[in-house]
Amino acid sequence: MNALLPFAVLIWPLLLGLVPAVPRWRPHALWILPLAPLPALGLALAGAPGAIFLPDLLLGVHLAAVPGGALYLGMTALVWAAAGVHAALTLPPGPKAGALTGFWCLTLAGNLGVFLAGDVVTFYLAFAAVSLAAWFLVVHERTKKALAAGKLYITLAILGEAALLIGLMIGAAAAEDLRVSSVRAALPDAPLGPFGIAALLVGFGIKAGMIPLHLWLPVAHPAAPVPGSAVLSGAIVKAGLIGMILFIPVASGWGSLLVVAGLIGAFAAALWGLTQQDPKAVLAYSTVSQMGLLLTLVGAGSSHVAFYALHHGLAKAAMFLCVGVVAAAATPRARLLTLTIAGIMALSVSGFPLSGGALAKLASKEGLSDPLVLALTLSSMTTTLVLGWFMLRLARHHATRGHRPVWPGLFAGAAFLAALALLVPWFLWERVTGLQGTYPLGQANILAGLWPVMLGLVAVAVLRARAMPSYPPGDLLALLEMLRARLILVQKAAPQSRRNFTIGHRRRILRILLRSRRADSFFQPWPHAGFLLTVVTLAFAISIWLPN
């Protein structure tokens, strides 16, 4: 029975996702969103037990939680559940909501699936589900902005899928087996191993927002509805992360590559976030930055990536929800409360001592080389900077529209996530890190956490007085846009003369054919034919006579 649990966890959201297909149920469909991740949460709380092999399904489906699966699954389930509540409260019911519900559930199933997949095909399927179905979360508003963002998102997602497919196939071909463990083992030594790994890096990198493949993140987040952004940033990007963990052999040079790319992302994205006006865009850059840190950890072989990811997921989701909550806040008090929650979360992510984020940072510094520890510490400063900027932008964020009466519910969701982000790391500390429960209370640790945040806060205060340059989200995109315009110009200049050529050709053939009629009239008159007949007669006679 236990064995079926992972399977049930995946099937449940898929089944729920079909609910809106029934027209009568469609108006209330949004309310199933909070229900969909519950079995997964249960599985996580139970410690993610169970493993199952379904030989007939796909190319043989293996399901079992990945290492650290419980953390990922729990975080994912919580983020999705809270976002679900938010969505159910804020989004207007209707056909769009029905579609969203269906694909929300599909995305969720995929998101959970990447943490449960035991074979590459299932993994690929889950990855595709989370990546492609999430498109519906991005474009939900159907505004021009959302659709443009969706286009970028889906393009990159598909490119990522393609890259992933290459990598997985190279691995599977080398392993002659489809299980994740075999593929991972076979990849480094496969004939096309480096190429495959590079492809995987691209595939996962796109999802995980690795520089320079992060383009979609800052574009998609502001466009998506708030709960969508919350799951995108909180949970979905972690699918890329788990891919990196599962498949990239960090022991070889690939780890360093990840570290470098991760660090560049961590700092550059945070700083670039300062050029954004939309709080969600700022948050998106923060996500790129945080994911950079996570990738650095992966590349460095840290064993507490899951712990860090857990906190980041919860906190980032809470912050995104706060954007929605602020917009729905009717009274200054509500607004203040929300901003407080968001501020606490910002501090937590920055690693303010004793916060959940500080614990995550502390744990992940374990076993890292000094430069990396320093980088991590410094990143706290940039994080504070960007999140401080976020708070500034958030404070100026006003509701354009919203369901004000639902504010308490919305607030509860965000506050719930925030509370979890603060508390769960404490709760799990010993179990996960094996360190003493009082370790984070150590003075050195507190100090180490405090000074970068303080410095960051000072910088924020300075920034507040300055006018920051403002760019639209999507940095490198502008470059690509230029290239595309060039290409279109070239295409338009191509000549179109082929058709005329064929017609002329045909006419010429016809003329030749018609000429045959005139040629035939040479044989027509009897004197010609008769003369030829004589010639043929004699030719036959001679040709017979000569050899005999």
Partner 1 sequence: MSLTVFALTGAALVGLGVYGLLALPHLLRRVIAFNLTGSGLFLFFGAAGARGGAVDPVPQALIITGIVVALSASALAVGLVVALARSSGKVVLPDEDPAP
Partner 2 sequence: MSAALPVLILLTSLVPAGVTFFLAQDSHSLRNGLNLGGAILKLGLIGWMLFSVAGGASYEAILPLAPGLVMLLRVDALALLFISLSATLWFLTTIYAIAYFGTKAELSRFFGFFSLCVAATTGLALSGSLISFFIFFELLTLSTWPLVAHKQDKPSLSAARLYLVYALPGSAALLWAIIWLESATGPVLFTDPPDLSVLEPGALRAIFALFIIGVGVKAAIVPLHGWLPAAMAAPAPVSALLHAVAVVKAGAFGVVRIIYDVFGAANVVALGVGVPLAVLASATIIWGSLRALQQDEIKKRLAFSTVSQVSYIVLGAALASPLAMIGGLVHLIHQGLMKITLFFCAGIYDERAGVRTIAGLNGLGPRMPWTSACFSLGALGMIGLPPLAGFVSKFYLGLGGLDAGAPWVLGVLVASTLLNAAYFLPLLYRLWFLPAAEDATGDERAPALVGPAVVTALATLGVGLLAASPISPLGWATLIVTREYGP
Partner 3 sequence: MTSLVVLLTLPLVAALAVLALPERRREPLGLLTVAIGLVAALTLAASVWRSGPVLLTLGGWTPPLGIALRADGLAVALILMSALVMSAVALAARFEMRATRVGPRAAFGFWVLMALLWGALNAVYVSRDLFNLYVGIELLSLAAVALVALSGTAKALAAALRYMIFALVGSVLYLAGVVLTYAAHGVLDIGLLAARMPAESDALALGLMTAGLLAKTALFPFHVWLPTAHAAAPAPASALLSALVPKASFLILIRLWFEAMPDLASSAAVMMLAVLGSIAVIWGGVLALVQSRLKLIVAYSTVAQLGYLFLIFPLAGGGGSVQPWSAGAWTGAMFLALSHGLAKAAMFLAAGICIAAVGSDRLGDLRGLVRHLPMTVAALALAAITLAGLPPSGGFTAKYLLMTSALAAGQWPLALVLVGGGLLAAAYLYRPMAALFAREARIAPRPVPRIWQAVPLTLAASAILLGLFSATPFDLLQIGRPEPAEEGL
Q: Which residue has the tokens 């965000």?
A: 414
> For partner 1, which is the closer residue by CB, 195 or 523?
523
- Whole-Å CA distances, 324 to 87, 216, 225, 328: 10, 21, 9, 6
- Whole-Å CA distances, 546 to 64, 428, 532: 92, 111, 20
Residue 523 lies near partner 3 (rule: CB under 8 A):
yes
Please report how close the Cβ of residue 527 comes to partner 3 at its closest, in angstroms: 10
Find, among 407, 430, 427, 409, the residue nearest to 419 by Cα: 427
Q: Which residue has the tokens 């997985």?
A: 168
> For partner 2, which is the closer residue by CB, 28 or 96?
96
Residue 195 lies near partner 3 (rule: CB under 8 A):
no
Residue 257: which H helix or E strand, with range?
A: helix 253-272
Residue 511 lies near partner 3 (rule: CB under 8 A):
no
Q: Which one-letter DSSP state was computed for residue 18?
A: T
Q: Which of 470, 497, 500, 548 binds partner 3 (CB under 8 A)?
A: 548
Spatial distance between the Cα atoms of 92 and 90, rounded to a whole number of angstroms: 6
Residues that bind partner 2 (CB under 8 A): 55-61, 95, 99, 121, 124-125, 128, 132, 139, 142, 147, 154, 158-159, 161-163, 165-166, 169-170, 172-174, 191-192, 195
> For partner 1, which is the closer residue by CB, 492 or 518?
518
Burial 177-188 (b: 16+ CB within 10 A, else e): bbbbebbbebbb
Structure tokens at 182: 């075999």
> For partner 2, which is the closer residue by CB, 180 or 323?
180
Please report how close the Cβ of residue 507 comes to partner 3 at its closest, in angstroms: 14
Spatial distance between the Cα atoms of 144 and 107, rounded to a whole number of angstroms: 23
Spatial distance between the Cα atoms of 398 and 177, rounded to a whole number of angstroms: 54
How many residues touch partner 1 under the rule CB under 8 A: the total is 8
Residue 538 lies near partner 1 (rule: CB under 8 A):
no
Spatial distance between the Cα atoms of 343 and 348, rounded to a whole number of angstroms: 8
Q: Which of 491, 497, 500, 543 binds partner 3 (CB under 8 A)?
A: 543
> For partner 1, which is the closer residue by CB, 340 or 534?
534
**Coil vs helix vs strand at 119:** strand
> For partner 3, which is the closer residue by CB, 501 or 545?
545
Q: Which of 330, 461, 478, 539 binds partner 3 (CB under 8 A)?
A: 539
Please report how close the Cβ of residue 519 comes to partner 1 at its closest, in angstroms: 14
Residue 256 lies near partner 1 (rule: CB under 8 A):
no
Q: Which of 23, 55, 92, 527 binds partner 1 (CB under 8 A)?
A: 527
How many residues touch partner 3 under the rule CB under 8 A: the total is 26
- Cα-trace Rg, the chain: 32
Q: Which of 525, 536, 538, 541 binds partner 1 (CB under 8 A)?
A: 525
Residue 544 lies near partner 3 (rule: CB under 8 A):
yes
- Whole-Å CA distances, 127 to 147, 236, 359, 412, 423: 22, 10, 30, 31, 30
* Contact of residue 541 among partner 1, partner 3, partner 2, none (CB under 5-8 Å per partner type): partner 3
Spatial distance between the Cα atoms of 363 and 384, rounded to a whole number of angstroms: 19
Please report how close the Cβ of residue 514 comes to partner 1 at its closest, in angstroms: 18
Q: Which residue has the tokens 């995946």?
A: 10
Residue 447 lies near partner 3 (rule: CB under 8 A):
no
Spatial distance between the Cα atoms of 344 and 510, rounded to a whole number of angstroms: 85
Q: Which of 1, 467, 479, 526 binds partner 1 (CB under 8 A)?
A: 526
Spatial distance between the Cα atoms of 51 and 180, rounded to a whole number of angstroms: 14
**Coil vs helix vs strand at 56:** coil
Q: Which stretch binds partner 3 (CB under 8 A): 159-167, 422-430, 434-442, 519-527?
A: 519-527
Q: Is 398 left (phi over 0), alpha (psi -120 to 50) or beta?
A: beta
Q: x-or-dash pattern for partner 1, window 475-514, by CB under 8 A?
A: ----------------------------------------
* Contact of residue 493 among partner 1, partner 3, partner 2, none (CB under 5-8 Å per partner type): none
Task: Decide if 179 contacts 62 (C-beta within 8 A).
Answer: yes
Q: Which residue has the tokens 């079992």?
A: 64
- Amino acid of residue 124: Y
Please report how close the Cβ of residue 531 comes to partner 1 at its closest, in angstroms: 6
Residue 530 lies near partner 1 (rule: CB under 8 A):
yes
Footprint of partner 3 (CB under 8 A): 513-514, 516-517, 520, 523-524, 526, 529-530, 532-534, 536-548
Footprint of partner 1 (CB under 8 A): 521, 524-527, 530-531, 534
